[in-house]
Chains A and B, each alone.
Chain A
């Protein structure tokens, strides 16, 4: 059984650019959530996807968007990058209807210059 994987590990972008982060869910899981963890803070919920549709969103602007694919892999897209978007982005997968336990990937470290 493979765990949650994320790519790339690190990424450097400049302000105004767009970025796509990828996540592969753990086998058997049908939901995926994305979190932003700024330096020195706890993770903040961005959104969750279930059955390829957004199923809950935190306090993030529309320039943060996502996709979930039939094979339960997922993407996080961020447009018009700002310096404050620099953070560790965590993906977590789980099973709807279960105990709401999530399994986290190692994260992608995004630096915006």
Chain B
């Protein structure tokens, strides 16, 4: 079965501290992997994506993610969190071909304390 698991429902970090959000997926074919961010009352904004090649991908707002095929993981990292990073983060997986059925995880809510 195709699925995305984000083990942490919410995480709290201090401003300036590093961040890692976990994501594990189950997918039969070669996946496209995505991280999205959603602020309250807003739609989804793409942070970064992995299609192929270098397993460490850079995104917007200083985020990066590493694809580890052996662990079926695609964890999101940021070296220094800013208060404006407080939001909901979604990991997602989609097909290389044949449509856009993207499967999302349940999300991780990030709280940033001063």
Interface of A toward B, CB cutoff 8 Å? 4, 31, 33, 35, 40-45, 48, 55-56, 58, 90, 92, 94, 99-107
Number of B interface residues in the complex (CB < 8 A): 26
Within 8 A of A (CB), among B50-85: 51
Residues of chain B with a CB closer than 8 A to A4's CB = 43
- Our pick among A42, A100, A105, A107 for the contact of B100 (Cβ within 8 Å) is A100
Within 8 A of A (CB), among B32-52: 32, 34, 36, 42-46, 49, 51
How far is B92's CA from A104's CA once the two chains are assembled, in angstroms?
Answer: 13
9 A-B pairs with C-beta separation under 8 A: A43-B90, A56-B101, A99-B51, A100-B94, A100-B95, A100-B100, A100-B102, A102-B100, A105-B43
B51 and A42 form a contact (CB under 8 A): no
Residue ID in chain B nearest A106 by CB atoms: B43
Residues of chain B with a CB closer than 8 A to A107's CB = 42-43
B44 and A104 form a contact (CB under 8 A): yes
B99 and A44 form a contact (CB under 8 A): no
Report if B106 contacts A (CB, 8 A): yes
Residues of chain B with a CB closer than 8 A to A102's CB = 100, 102
Residue ID in chain B nearest A44 by CB atoms: B104
Residues of chain A with a CB closer than 8 A to B42's CB = 106-107
Residue ID in chain B nearest A31 by CB atoms: B100
Residues of chain A with a CB closer than 8 A to B96's CB = 100
Report if A45-B101 is in contact (Cβ < 8 Å); known contacts: A99-B49, A99-B51, A100-B32. yes
